[in-house]
Amino acid sequence: IIGLNAFVKQIIKTLLDAHQKVAVITDNKAEIDLLYERYGSEHFFVLYSDLDDYESFKKANIEKSKIVHPALSTDTEELVMILNLKDHFPDLKFIVVLEETNLKNTFHSAGVTYVLSKNEFASKLMASFIFEPAVADLTTDLITPNISIDNEEEFDIEQYKVLEHNPFINKTWGDFCNSIRTKFRSIPIGIKKTDGRLIKVPPDDLIIEKGDYIIFINNAHSSHQITKELFKVEQGEI
């Protein structure tokens, strides 16, 4: 994460709660001790740097990051930073949260992997609360990664990568779902194929391949079982 604001602090907490490693690059030296006091240092790192000193970003292992989120004052500043970072680190992936929805195509054209809009997401969720509040409640709950190992009634949406040792490689989606539902308290709901296609509620004859990501609704207990016994890898993108 490059930059710091109240929204970013919420993102940091959510990522750390999901056991993800987070690095923040900031030019605000006064915040550093407060950040470590709030988030600890086990999975959290802060780099103090000028935000135009791109070479110094290597100290935060930016080249090895799963994804980079610029969090600057304006959408335009973020676009300029992304273009400059691409010159220095061409293989980076980016996610942005826009203030101006009409700039989505511009950011996609610049090669940004994920382009989100605060207003667009909030308006869809608000509309859902107005005419289908139960759906909105469930959606909000499932996208918040805060499940507790002690509460089997708390659920989360998770993704797991199919590695070479997975016994369901070259098996059908139907066979996979029948086995999972029998053995684990887990509901497979979709798959992301290696070519980038996201298939929601796949057909039973779909073939599972190495490198696919399978998406589940899990509680903490089933998540632990699936990780240990089947996927042998933590949830999330690899």
pLDDT in tens, the chain (238 residues): 999 999 999 999 989 987 899 999 999 999 999 999 999 999 999 999 999 999 999 999 999 999 999 999 999 999 999 999 999 999 999 999 998 889 999 999 999 999 999 888 888 888 999 999 998 888 888 877 655 555 566 788 999 999 999 999 999 999 999 999 888 878 999 999 999 999 999 999 999 999 999 999 988 888 888 988 899 888 887 6
> Whose CA is closest to 79, among 92, 63, 90, 94?
94
* Contact status, residue 32 vs residue 46, Cβ threshold 8 Å: yes
Query: Phi first, then psi: what are they for 115, rounded to 5°?
Result: -120, 115
Provide the token pair at 90: 């061409």
> CA distances (Å), 18 to each of 144, 169, 234, in order?
9, 27, 11
CA distance 15 to 28: 21
Domains of the chain by range and CATH?
6-121 (3.40.50.720), 149-231 (3.30.70.1450)
Bridge partners (DSSP) of residue 117 are 98
CA distance 98 to 107: 9
Please state at what angle helix 118-131 crosses helix 133-142, rounded to 10 degrees.
140
Bridge partners (DSSP) of residue 46 are 24
- pTM for the full model? 0.80
CA distance 147 to 118: 24
